[in-house]
Amino acid sequence: MRGNGSGTRGLAVWAAAALTAAAAAPAAGTAQAAGTEGTTGTLVAARTERAEKAERVEKAERVEKAERVEKAAGVSGDTGATRVAGAAGAARVAEAASVTRAAGAAGAPGVPEADLAYHGFVTLEDGRLGVSLTPRNHGPSAVPDATLRLHWSAPLADEQTLPGACARSEPQAVLCRIGALKADGMGAEIGLRVLLREKPSELVMEIDTVWSGGVVDQNRLNDRQRVLVLETGDEYAF
C-alpha cells in the first residue's frame, strides 16, 4: 500500500509540473512576441531619428549656402557696389530663375516670354579688362527686372572698383543689374573695367542672364555667349 501511495504522489507531482509548464508556455510566447515588437519599434524609431537628423542637416546646409551666395551678391562699401539681386537676394534669384526656366521648358500656359540680347565689346590689355555692353529685349513681353552674370576664365584681383549696379559674386565673376526692360526696348549701357590677378595672353568671357523677373527666354543664343579675348587691346565684339 505504501508503494501505491508513493506512485500516486509521484503521479501527482508529474501532473502538477506538466500543468505548470503548460501555463508557462503562453506567457513565454507572449513575452517573446513583446520583445520582438519592442525591438522592431526601437529599430523603426532609430531609422526615423536618423532620417529626421539627415533632413535637418540638409536643410541647414541649404540655408548656409543661400546665406553665402546672398552675402556675396550684397557686397558694398569701397567698391561702390549695391545689392544687384534686389531684396530677394542672389540665392532666391537663382532659385526663381531655375523655376522660371523649368516652367518655360514645360510650356506652362500664362508664363510671359521675352528675348533678351546683349551686344557690345571687350578688350584685354596689360591685365586689364574693359567691357561695354547694351541689353535689349526683343519681346514680346516686358521684363520687370533682370540681372546678368559676367564670368572670366582668369581670376580677378582682390580689389575692384565696380559700377553701382555691379557686384563681385565669385572669384572670377561679377553680377550686374539691368533693371526693367520694355518689350522691343533697350536698357542702359553697362561699362566696367576689371583688374586681373595676372596678365594672361588670352581668356574667355562668358555672359549669361541669371534673373529675368519671372519671364521666360526660349532663345538663349543671344544672351548666353562665350567670347575669346586676346591680349592685344583690340575690341572683340559680341
pLDDT, one tens digit per residue, over 211-225 is: 999 999 999 999 999
| Same domain (yes/no): 115, 205 | yes
| Same domain (yes/no): 158, 186 | yes
CB 82 within 8 A of CB 60: no
pLDDT, one tens digit per residue, over 149-173 is: 999 999 999 999 999 999 999 999 9
| Same domain (yes/no): 151, 230 | yes
| Same domain (yes/no): 15, 113 | no
| Same domain (yes/no): 64, 148 | no
In a domain, 81, yes or no: no
Taking 70 as the threshold, does the pLDDT of residue 1 lie above it?
Answer: no
Q: Which of 19, 45, 73 is the last residue of a domain?
A: 73
| Same domain (yes/no): 69, 106 | no
- Residue with the bigger pLDDT between 9 and 135: it is 135
Taking 60 as the threshold, does the pLDDT of residue 2 lie above it?
Answer: no
| Same domain (yes/no): 114, 221 | yes
| pTM of the entire predicted model | 0.58
pLDDT, one tens digit per residue, over 225-238 is: 999 999 999 999 99
| Same domain (yes/no): 107, 56 | no
Residue 151 Cα distances to 54, 196, 201, 226, angstroms: 34, 12, 17, 9
C-alpha count within 13 angstroms, C-beta hemisphere, residue 221: 1
In a domain, 78, yes or no: no
| Same domain (yes/no): 200, 100 | yes
| Helix, strand, or coil (residue 34) | helix
Q: Which three cell numbers stand for residue 39?
A: 525591438
Q: Which domain holds residue 6?
A: 1-73
Mean pLDDT of 92-113: 55
Which helix (DSSP H) or strand (DSSP E) does residue 16 occupy?
Answer: helix 2-73
| Helix, strand, or coil (residue 191) | strand
Which helix (DSSP H) or strand (DSSP E) does residue 223 occupy?
Answer: none
Look up the CATH number of the domain holding residue 207.
2.60.40.1170
| Same domain (yes/no): 94, 184 | yes
In a domain, 198, yes or no: yes
| Same domain (yes/no): 22, 133 | no
In a domain, 80, yes or no: no
| Same domain (yes/no): 98, 148 | yes
Q: Which of 73, 101, 135 is the last residue of a domain?
A: 73
pLDDT of residue 51: 60
Number of domains present in the structure of the chain = 2
pLDDT, one tens digit per residue, over 19-78 is: 454 444 444 444 444 444 454 455 545 556 666 666 665 666 655 555 554 444 443 333
Question: In whole angstroms, what is the distance from residue 214 CA to residue 190 CA?
Answer: 22
In a domain, 83, yes or no: no
Taking 60 as the threshold, does the pLDDT of residue 125 lie above it?
Answer: yes
Buried/exposed 44-67: b ≥16 CB within 10 Å, e otherwise: eeeeeeeeeeeeeeeeeeeeeebe
| Contacts for 184 with CB less than 8 Å, ≥ 6 apart | 137, 138, 139
